[in-house]
Structure 1
Amino acid sequence: MKTLYMNPEIATTTEPTAALPEVLDVSQLAQLLRVRPNSIYYMIEHKQIPCRRTGKSYRFNRETIMNWLSGNKDKAA
């Protein structure tokens, strides 16, 4: 399994979910998780993160992602 590293250049000191919309794109999710966008694409490719594809883009429901992060897979599905 690939190890994902946090990107200190995009890390923030404020509450990460405060300014984010309900539906996130890859760059917004990368900012929330403090990883590079390529790490998000890796997780999508390996079905490690819940997402929806809209055309050529991927979208993520913020509440689903927060449940996924907390390990609550029932609500993340």
Structure 2
Amino acid sequence: MQEKELSKVKEVMDVKELSEYLGIGKSKIYKLIREKKIPASKIGGQYRFSKTVIDSWLKENLITRENLQYSLDKLLNKK
């Protein structure tokens, strides 16, 4: 999503808007919801997402090079 478009993002998004915001498919979002891996609220039978909460979730779940290397080392040492 372009910087100009980011400024137009609503504070509360539906699945389609979140899909566009994150750049992933709607089916992936539904999968994350089912697996309880993404913060979502259901309002009137529709999923809604707070931009502030999603941004915090992204920061908390950001995979850094160091985290990835640690995970790989841990997996390789288990074998």
Q: TM-score, normalised by structure 1?
A: 0.72
**Which residue type is aligned with residue 66 of structure 1?**
D
**Which residue type is aligned with residue 33 of structure 1?**
L
For residues 13-52 of structure 1, the aligned pairs below 5 Å read 14-15=2-3, 17-52=6-41
For residue 54 of structure 1, the aligned residue among 8, 29, 43 is 43
- Name whichever structure is richer in helix by fraction: 2
Structure 2 alignment gaps of length 5 or more: 62-79
What is the number of residues matched between the two proteins? Answer: 60
* Percent identity between the two aligned chains: 35
How far apart, in 1, do the equivalents of 2:33 and 2:6 lie?
21
Structure 1 alignment gaps of length 5 or more: 1-11, 73-77
Structure 1 residue 56 displacement after superposition: 1.7
Structure 1 residue 55 displacement after superposition: 2.2
Deviation readout 1:31-52 (Å, 9 max, x if unpaired): 1110011110000000000010
Runs of 4+, deviation exceeding 6 Å: none
What is the root-mean-square deviation of aligned Cα atoms in Å?
A: 1.4
Larger Rg: 2
